[in-house]
Each structure stands twice: as C-alpha cells, then as structure tokens.
Chains A and B, each alone.
Chain A
Amino acid sequence: MPPVTRSTRATADIELGGQPIVLDHSGAAWLPDGGDLLVADLHFEKGSAFAARGQGLLPPYDTVETLRRLERVCARVKPKRVICLGDTLHDVAGEARMAEGDRQRLSRLVAAHDWVWIAGNHDPEPPAAMGGEVMHELKIGDLVLRHDVAEADAAAAIPVGEICGHYHPKAAVRVRGRRISGRCFATDGRRLIMPAFGAYTGGLNAREPAIDDLLSPRFHVYMIGRAGLFAFRRDQLLSDPKRAV
C-alpha cells in the first residue's frame, strides 16, 4: 500500500472511452487534447422564470452569478472551444428576459471562443443570436456529447463514451455522523453525467433510479466540496428518504 497524503485537489483526471478528461471543481470538465471546455445546465434566467409565473420573487442574480462562474473557468482553462450541453436557458422566453448587460457579457464570451450550443429540453432553441453553432449532439473522436442520453441507449447498448447533462446529479455521504451533500459528476467509465453549472440549479440524488439506472452498479461520483473534488463509490452514497407521491 503506497503512503497516502491528505490533500484537497480541485480537479480529477478520468478516462472515458479511452479519452482522458479533467473534471473541475467549478462543475465544468475539459478535454486536455482538443482544448474543449464542457458545461451543462446553466439554466440562465431561472429566477425571473419563477417571478414571471408568480412563484416567488427570488433574488434576480442567478444569471449574473452563473456568467461570473463561466467567465472565471474560461479565463483559467483558456479553452479553444466551449460546449454547453443543453438547458442553457431555463425556458424559451428566458433570452427575452435577460438583462442587456448580461446579454452583452455572454456575447463577448461566445465571440472569444468557438462555441457550441447543444439543445436541451428547456431550450430547444438555444440563444444562437449571440453567435455559436447549434447542434443536437456532437462527436469528438469516440465520445458523444448530448443533453440527455439517447433513447435507445438508456436501457440497452451503453456507448463507448458518452457525456451528458440533464440529470443534475447530487451525492450525499455520511461523515462522522453528519450528512454532507453536494453536486457531483457521476461516471462508470463509459458514461459521464455532468453536474448542473447554473447558480439556481438544484440536484437529484445520484442513487435515484433516474440516474442510478443509467450507470453500471460500479459507478463513482466526484462530489464538489468547498474547494475540492472528492471521489466516492456508489455503495458509499446515501439515498434520500422517499416522499409522498
């Protein structure tokens, strides 16, 4: 057994379909070879979507906060291309509600990179007016990048390497009698489910069937702590107590 040192690491290196991938504490991931940065489920204008439906006047700072996080990770990683894995906008009307200043910041970011919008269920028409290319899926080598897993793949044939968003995975563990939970990456070596990147995006416990069924029983999560990423095996994760239907 090699000696173990305690250190908090902000990134984790994994392989998916033979391709090395770096998972980042910000919730983004990148492919070191091609300079591609991946983020999923930004859900811009989620706060104002609630307000518009009369469901509460949440602080209207989620878009600017998500933008700030995106700008920071871009500045740090300096990718050639940025790929948003769908649900970039919380709803179809989100783009119209976006404040002018926020729209300009996003446009500047898009202009500074090659940009791919993958369409999601919340935003079948991503904000293409700002530039960038709209796609339904993207292949990089043997990897397929999608918003949701492909229908046929869900139950049967698992692809060689697939990266998707949509599920907002979250993990919970017990440490010294305390329950700690946080957003996480979930992967079984063939499929990688990205955490949601948006400031107001909640999560679904990775042990819920919606996520659990998509991965092999030997999957791992990389949970996002305050400053580091922490790996746990599936059997170390706590489930949520079930609620009334």
Chain B
Amino acid sequence: MPNDLPAALSDWFAARNWAPHPHQFEMLDAAAEGRSALLIAPTGGGKTLAGFLPSLAELIEADPAPEGLHTLYISPLKALAVDIHRNLEIHIADMKLPIRAETRTGDTPQSKRQRQRRTPPQMLMTTPESLALLLSYEDAPEIFGQLRCVIVDELHALEDNKRGDLLSLGLSRLTGLAPDARRVGLSATVAEPDRLRRWLSPTRDAGDVSLVLGESGAEPRIDVLETAVEMPWSGHMGTHAIPEVYELLRDGGTTIVFVNTRAQAEIIFQELWRLNEDGLRIALHHGSLAPEQRRKVEAAMARGDLDAVVATSSLDLGVDWAAVDLVIQVGAPKGSTRLLQRVGRSNHRLDSPSRAVLVPANRFEVLECRAAIDAVRAHTLDGIPARPGGLDVLGQHILGTARAGPVDREALFEEVRTAGPYIELSREDFDDVFNFVATGGYALGGYEKFQRLFRTSNGTYEITSPAAVRDYRMNVGTIVEAPTLKVRMGRGRVLGEVEENFVNYMTAGDTFVFAGRLLEFVEVRETSVITRPGKGDAPAVPAYVGGRFPLSTHLADRVRTILSDPKTWADLPAQVSNWLDVQRWRSVLPSRDGLLIETFPRANKHYLVAYSFEGRNAHQTLGMLLTRRMERAGLGPLGFVATDYVIGVWSTKSCEAADLDALFDEDMLGDDLEAWMAESSMLKRTFRNIAVIAGLIQRRHPGEEKSRRQVTFNSDLIYDVLRSHEPNHILLRATRADAGAGLTDVRRLSDMLARVRGRITHRHLDRVSPLAVPILLEIGRESVYGAAIDELLGEQAEDLISEAMDNVGTKELGFDAA
C-alpha cells in the first residue's frame, strides 16, 4: 500500500482485510494531479468508494479541516443519493472522521435546507434538479466557493437526455463559481467512453479527463430458456414460460426477473404467484408503485429477505446487492448494453461469472436473444447517436442564472459552451433562446414592456418580476410527466399511480391488475382512482404510456445476419429453425442488407409486409408515411401495424403490381415527413414538453388545478398559432430538433431507406408466409391508426347515423337522409 494513503484510510482497509483496487489508486492519482477523471467499471468493483476516496483523503489530511462544501455528489435517483449517503456515513463513523455528509433532495425539510445554505456540510448528496435550484440562489457563490470535487454517479444514464443537459449546465456554472473543483464521473460500460469524457470535461477537451477502467470481471454466463410448450408466434409477455421461470426461481437463489414494461411486470408477477406452492418470497418493483412500497422492496432485497423480485427498468440503476445469484430477462432485451447492465446486477464478485437466463416471448425474440448473447460475447455495445443539448433546458438555465444575480450575456455564452452537450451551440441559437427568456423572442414586438429580463445601464441583465422568480422555482427540472392519478384501495392506502389517460377509458366495474392485485374500478374522486378488490379472471391490464424500448440498431443488424445465414441456425430451438426453413421454401429469407417485401391476399384484403428490422418507433413513422403514399397511389390503405421487426399494411387494392422502389423511395422523408410531422400529435406532445421546460407555460401542480385554471394553457392552441405565424421561432426549432434527433427513429428510417435502395426483393404470394404470421396476429391486438382524425370521427358518425335514425329524427340531428 503506498504511503500517500492517510493512516485512517489504510487502517480501515487493513481492518477489513481489503486492499484498494488498482482503479481506486488511479482515481487517487488523478485527484493528486488535480485532474478530472472518468471511472468505467462493472458493478461490484467498489466504484462509488473509488469516487469518494480522494475526497476522504483530502479531508483527513487537511489541517485544520476545511470549512464549507468540499464534495458534491450527484445521482440521477433520489433513492440512490440517500443510500450512498447512508453507506458513506457508516464508513465515516468507522473511521471516526469529523466529516459532515448530508443529502438534499425534494424531500429535505425546509429548515434543514436553509441551514445547509448557511453552513453547508463538507459532503452533499443531491440530484440534478436540486443542484439547479441551489445554483439559482443569490448566495450560490458562497455555498459553492470552497468546492473541490463534483462526483456524477451513473453518468451513462444522464449523458444522453435532458436531465443530463440540465446537469451539464449546472456543472459549467459550478466551474465558474469554483474553478479548481475537479469533476469525477462514474459509469457502467458504454460503447464510446470518449463521448462521456467530452461530456464531463470542464474545458471542452476530452483529454483533460483521465480515463480509469475497472477490472473486468469473469465473462457472464447467459443462456436462452427452452420451454416445453410451443414457442408463441406473437405477443410480448412471455407467460408461456412461467412454469420454467418458476423452476429457476425455486432452484436459483436470489433472483431478479427483469421485464420490459410495467404491464408485463404485473402479469408475470401474478402468474408466478399462481404457481407459488413453495411459498417463495416474490416481490414486485416498477415505477408506478408508491415510492414507500418500492423502498420497502429494495430494503427487503438488501437484507436478503426475498427470493425474487419482478422488476422493470426501475431497478436498472441503484445500489448494488451483492446477494443476487441470477438475473432472468423475460422478453427480448432490445439492446446489448442494457442486457449487459442488467446481467451485471447478479453476482458482484468479480472472480466468478454473472449468471443470466433470457426468456424470449415469441419466435422473432428467439433470434433477438441469440443476437444479444453473441453481442455480449463479442463485447459489442449499442452506439447511441449523439444529440445536441436541448434549447428548452438552456432557457431554463438562463432564467435560473439570472435568478441568482445579474447576467453578463457574453460571459454566459462562453460558459455554456463549456458544457458537454452545448459545445457546438451556435451564437444564433443562444441569442434566440436568450431573447425568448427575456421577452418571448417574437418577431412581432410588443412584449418589451412585459419583459422578464431587464437590461441595466452597465449591460448586464436582471430579472424583473417576482412572478418570474417564482415560476422558475416551481418549474425547475426536465421531466414532464403525463398527468397521473393515485390508485387507492377504498378511501385508504395509496397503491401507486396510473396515467390519467388510462382511467379515461374505464367505467365502474372494470377490473385491472395493479400493484400485484386484481382491482375493480369504482370511481374517480378528486385526484384519486378509488378501487376495491376485484373478482374474476379477465382484467384489463394498465396500458402505461411508454416504457417500451425499441430494438437497437446494433441488435437489429445481428438479427438480420442470423436470419440470412442458415449455418447459424444450429443452436436455435428446432421449432424456430423449422419455421425459418419453411419460410425459405414458401418465400425467401430477408437478406442482410436488402429489404424483403411480401404481398398476398387474405380474406378480401390485400397485405404488404416489409421486413425492415428498425424498431417499433421507426416502423410507426414508416407506417404513417407509407399509408399516405399508398393513398395517393390509389391503393386504398386501410391500416397498418408495426413491431420491432416488421411492418404490415392492409389495403383494398393489391400492391402486387405497385412500383415498390417508388413507394419506398427516400424522398418520402422530405415532403411527406414534413407534412406528417407538422400534423402529428407526436410533435404537439414534444412541443408541450418543450414549452413547459422552457417556461412558456406552467406545470400543473397538485391542488392548484382549480385556482390556477386560467394559467394552465392548452399547448396545442399555442402550437397551432405559433406554427402559422412564426414557424421559425426558437421553440419550434427546438421541437423539430427533439422530434428528429431525440427520437432517433427518423434517422434510422432514412439510413434504412438509403441502404435498401435498389435492393428491394418483392415476393408476391398466394397466401400468408410463415414469417408474416406474427405481424398478422398483432393486428387487432394493437389499436390501429393511420387514418386522419376526421376519418375516424366519420366512422363513428356513420354508426351514429344508423343508431340515431331509430331514436330521433334526422332533421333534429342535422343530417340529410341520404
């Protein structure tokens, strides 16, 4: 052990028979040189301790002990900040160090927050949002003036989203206030470490961040589960495999069963308990459950009191549990990076392998699971396309900065450009965002007298109104949730939350599964859904918005490779390789780089199935564009359905003789996409989020709905008006950028269309092909759309006409009897 580790620390290691890992020494070295550092290590390698060791060493060695905030720790999860704090407190107590460490989150009491501002602790654990709020106080320079180190945990989960944008801007502010503070990033394994270094760097130069790699553990052991019953042709739940999954739980020690959606978590949990004759302790964990409930499950897991927990991505991040013996992934993993991170949740001893079992939910998912295992073995990860920082987040940051004190516009521009996601920010965009914050930034003047920022005689900008100050504090953050309602048992206990939209479709007596129980919907009362225990067997499962990740480009490529090469089918289950064999005989296999399109008639309709493998989101967009084109070509499209693998369209006329090269030409992304995007609800939703984050409209706060009704504004109305009068306004530019780049699906689509140009294989068949069966089964399972709203309404109106004719006179209804 080198001499430069303070005695208190080396004694502490020695007392545990531990030796610091090499990467922990490297982190100490980087700190000694005053350099920022990025540590990439699998879980279980003492990663968090490696982040804190240099700070502990500094605080021990300094004499007298420095006053003021020395180390700031930022976690994407409030609960993680609390856990890390608890662990650190234990170490500090063991070492008998005079160090004060505290947390600061949305849950911290007001009195404690005020004391933290007056006399900050030496170590503070917080979240990106709480940091933004702290930075907006006039006394931010005093709070952060002594800062020596900022630790960002789970950096991989922040780097590519708006919370990360907000944090990066906060870091740039911190460097302005405390130029000597080092930055430390802690991350799971990622495809491009240099991108994280650039994100973390205080100087725009990735080279100023030392890269430290933890030891990689033993290679994980991952298998695909084979089941007794026939492999399903479609569906995503994986319930067919429940008996085998239950066997694994019984024999496997402590297990995490990861699933892809909350609805799936509810179903798998129910089905496992149905078989649970051994009284296994199986718990449920997902993002809609009440936070107290989730904390309870986590604590029970940490104590080793559970045999298994069924979880969604809500457990992807968080504290390490050394005791997890097995990870089961039900449903295909969708990406190799996520699979690797989930598998890493099992067995934190580096010298023995993590164990995982994949449970494909249908035939295509068998191929995807195989592809994911190949990818993990080959150490290839999913690349995530880089995205520029959000301009809405920048607007929020500018207002927050002005909240703390007068703003020098030039200096702020320079400072913002040191934040990783904003390195390429143009002066024009910055000015437009700045003007938006100040006066709304509209070409039509007139709001100068209502401005939020006021230019003083010395050229700085100051915030004008107390209302703007209040609005900032109420609206800080980048997470704009769909409105939710609490789910209550009777008038009593809160079980969790569901999106308002889900409840819109329920009537009294409907049943649904939630928090692992069958519930009957009674009524909505204020902001709660009142339920009672339900009876019966056929619930409507909560259809939570989102939560489903699309297949990654990297895995899609591997799936196409497997499909196109029969030599790789040897280790596929027999029913799957048979399925592919019959496809080869009846039609043809999709090639690796081309695009297979099949057309066939069925039950008075004509089908077109394209095997494009670009993920659900890209396929949804493709479906909208394709049906528009088919409409113009007179093919009479009736609807479409998209999965991660294929898209199916049905129409009144056959596409047998259609010019498919023209139908799938790249130019559909020009005119058609533009027109569709402008109309689409997706763009309006994106605009709403941007308008809230940028501070154009206010968030709804619980309990304020009535009193602030005038203030909550329908963002669709604003979108429509702004689009027709100032289409190039900065918020519309930000909306288009988010919709295009943020969702990545448009880019995937354009890459695909470019790739398959001149390589489209068309097979016209007299009936459905084996590969097309899954998509046909999806029809009717999903709500199908693609027609314009008026057409949908017209459909309903037709039903109405026939109904209405019997009830009331046509005259009264205002329709002519045709």
Contacts and interface: CB of A to CB of B under 8 A. Distances in A.
B411 interface: no
B793 A180 contact: yes
Interface in A75-134: 99
A154 interface: no
Contacts of A60: 440, 442, 444, 446-447
B507 to A, nearest CB: 10
Interface in A167-195: 172-180, 189
Interface string B695-712: 111100011011000110
Given A52-B450, A226-B790, A231-B815, A174 B722 contact: no
B752 interface: no
Contact of B447 (A2, A14, A51, A226): A51
Interface string B788-818: 1110111111101110110110011111011
Contacts of B525: 242
A141 interface: no
Majority secondary structure, A binding face: loop
Contact of B792 (A58, A178, A220): A178
B585 interface: no
B314 interface: no
Interface in A219-244: 220, 222-223, 225-228, 230-233, 236, 238, 241-244
Contact of B717 (A56, A99, A202, A228): A202
B485 interface: yes
A23 B373 CA distance: 62
A223 B793 contact: yes
Interface string A196-223: 0001111000000000000000101011
Contacts of B439: 57
A54 B783 contact: no
Contact of B524 (A56, A200, A241): A241
B529 to A, nearest CB: 8
Given A176-B784, A177-B783, A241 B446 contact: no
B812 A15 contact: yes
B717 A232 contact: no
Contacts of A55: 467, 698, 710-711
B790 A228 contact: yes
A156 interface: no
Interface stretch (B204-212, B297-305, B497-505): B497-505
A54 B527 contact: no
Interface stretch (B180-188, B353-361, B723-731): B723-731
Interface string A53-70: 111111111101100000
A4 B801 contact: yes
Given A51-B447, A176-B785, A245-B706, A230 B818 contact: no
Interface residues of A, number: 63
A139 interface: no
Contacts of B790: 8, 225-228, 230
A26 interface: no
A51 B718 CA distance: 14
A180 B446 contact: no
Contact of A14 (B500, B721, B814): B814
Nearest to A199: B721
Taking each of A56, A223, A232, A238, which has the highest tally of chain B beta carbons within 10 Å of its own beta carbon? Answer: A56
A206 to B, nearest CB: 15
Contact of B718 (A2, A48, A58, A174): A58
A11 to B, nearest CB: 9
Nearest to A204: B709
A73 interface: no
A158 interface: no
A222 B467 CA distance: 40
A241 B790 CA distance: 25
Nearest to B701: A244
Interface string B497-535: 000110111000000000000000000111100000000
Contacts of A23: 814
A236 B813 CA distance: 14
Contacts of B702: 244
A202 B713 contact: yes
B796 A225 contact: no
Contacts of B446: 48, 60, 99
B468 interface: yes
A34 interface: no
A242 B526 contact: yes
A7 B797 CA distance: 10
A151 interface: no
A231 B789 CA distance: 14
B452 interface: yes
Taking each of B447, B527, B714, which has the highest tally of chain A beta carbons within 10 Å of its own beta carbon? Answer: B447
A9 B629 CA distance: 25
Contacts, number: 182
A54 to B, nearest CB: 4
B119 interface: no
B440 to A, nearest CB: 3
B695 to A, nearest CB: 8
B452 A57 contact: yes
Contacts of B789: 180, 225-226
Contacts of A232: 796-797, 800
B764 to A, nearest CB: 30
B465 interface: yes
A64 to B, nearest CB: 7
A191 to B, nearest CB: 14
B714 A245 contact: no
A4 B798 contact: yes
A157 interface: no
Contacts of B808: 218
Contacts of B811: 15
Interface string B432-469: 00001001101010110010100000000000010110
B771 to A, nearest CB: 27
Contacts of B797: 230-232
Interface in B324-359: none
Nearest to B526: A244
B504 A2 contact: no
A241 B440 CA distance: 33
A15 B811 CA distance: 8
B30 to A, nearest CB: 45
A59 B718 contact: yes
Contacts of A15: 811-812
A201 B721 CA distance: 12
A26 to B, nearest CB: 14
A12 to B, nearest CB: 4
A199 B714 CA distance: 11
A173 B799 CA distance: 13
Contacts of B726: 59, 61
Contact of B793 (A14, A48, A225): A225
A177 B782 CA distance: 9
A176 B725 contact: no
Contact of B705 (A3, A57, A244): A244
A65 B500 contact: no
Contacts of A64: 725
Interface string B398-421: 000000000000000000000000
Interface string A27-55: 00000000000000000000010111111
Nearest to A245: B706
Contacts of B504: 172, 174, 179, 238, 241
A228 B792 CA distance: 12
A175 B711 contact: no
A1 interface: yes
Contacts of B813: 220, 231
Given A58-B697, A225-B789, 8 more contacts: A12-B815, A54-B467, A59-B722, A174-B505, A175-B793, A175-B796, A179-B504, A199-B721
20 contacts: A13-B814, A48-B446, A55-B711, A56-B713, A57-B450, A57-B696, A58-B696, A59-B721, A61-B444, A61-B721, A99-B444, A200-B721, A202-B713, A223-B793, A225-B789, A225-B790, A244-B702, A244-B705, A245-B526, A245-B706
